Amino acid sequence: MKRLGLSAFRRRVVAGSFPFFNRLADAMDSMQFVQADPIRCPARAQDLMLRQRVAGYVAGELEERFPELDAEEGYLFAYGFMTPAVWRDLRWRPHRKLKKLEREVLDAVAELGEVHPRGLDERFGRKSVQNYWGGKSKQTKRILDQLHHHGHLRVVRREKGIRVYQVSEDRGDQPADPTERYRRLVLTTASVFGAATPSMLVAELRSHNHLLPTRRERVAVVESLVEDGQLDEVDVAGVTYLWRREDWLSDEVPERVRILAPFDPLVRDRARFQQLWGWDYRFEAYVPAAKRIRGYYAMPVLWRDQVIGWANANVSDDRLNVQFGYADKRPRQKVFRLQAEAEVEAMARFLGLDSGAWEIEG
């Protein structure tokens, strides 16, 4: 097993986390999966992630261009946008026989061709049911979501963030062997994260445990990928990580500041985050305001190969305000200040604001 010191490992992880693409279509094809989140502060997570990896990317571009992309929506280790190949491996979850209302909704979508959830109100009414978070959702919207989750429907586009559905054309396709599907999902997840522990890979794919009912089977798949050479092992201070060799071709880290989405693949694994940078980052949007330490939507700040703190950003009167906070001391080098200003300028342009329409605090 290969061994790396923490510093060398950190550089490898950072260097491999930001492949750069000239076209959004190329990014989606290579990245395979981009996590989505509805909170927009100052932009949605999928946009914040793609702006770090796609030339000239602007907020909302993925949603606007989705119909022309070869892409789907679904749940991998989180809900997000993905390639059709990944989406096909996610489909055909165990599901009881469709109820009468579910069949009627599915038939209505087939009849209409494309359906926004509001488009079914006249036919099915506006009855509300409890949703997954304890609130209320329209019954037909819940049914549409369930039919999509189980592969009967696909998302064809969005209108102001709301999914518009159509019937999946290949509903009759037979699913591939469960073990092969699970292998491909493990490889996709490993590709997204760059370096992950075996236990993390298995835990992140728990929504797909139906493919392989026992943990022993799931662990055996991960081990077989190592034996086949599709995943390599590296020991970092006693922790074993798995990685794809092609993702680790460089350890060159640019001298720049990046403001990252809370779900960016570089920072989403909180255990790896703590090992790499020595402090605990927590997403606090759902934490009561009085108990927040860093802010509602505090975004990790990467400087060179160090995550040194966080940034809170908001837009008011067509100006971007960014407040920086630090896990330790603020870097005092002039180059850090210049790079931080360049990153905030880039974020302002990404949000469609005028050049220079920003200010920094901290």
The domain spans of the chain are: 97-167, 257-361
- For domain 97-167, the question of CATH label 1.10.10.10 is answered with yes
pLDDT reported for residue 133: 38
Give one DSSP letter per residue of 50-62, joined into a string. Answer: HHTTBTT--TTHH
pLDDT reported for residue 129: 47
On average, the pLDDT of the chain sits at 93
pLDDT reported for residue 246: 81
Nearest 5°: CA angle at 283, between 278 and 288?
125
Tokens 């700040």 label which residue?
301
23-28, Cβ contacts within 8 angstroms, sequence gap of 24 or more: 23/54, 23/55, 24/50, 24/54, 24/57, 24/61, 24/62, 24/65, 24/69, 25/69, 25/70, 27/53, 27/54, 28/69, 28/70, 28/71, 28/81, 28/83
* Positions in the chain short of pLDDT 70: 125-137, 170-175
pLDDT reported for residue 45: 98
pLDDT reported for residue 1: 85
Dihedral Cα 246, 247, 253, 254, nearest 10 deg: 90
pLDDT reported for residue 132: 45
pTM here is 0.93
Q: Percent of the chain having pLDDT more than 90? A: 85
For 301-320, give one letter per residue: b (16+ CB within 10 A) or e.
bbbbbbbbbbbbbebeeeeb
* CA separation for the pair 72, 15 (Å, rounded): 28
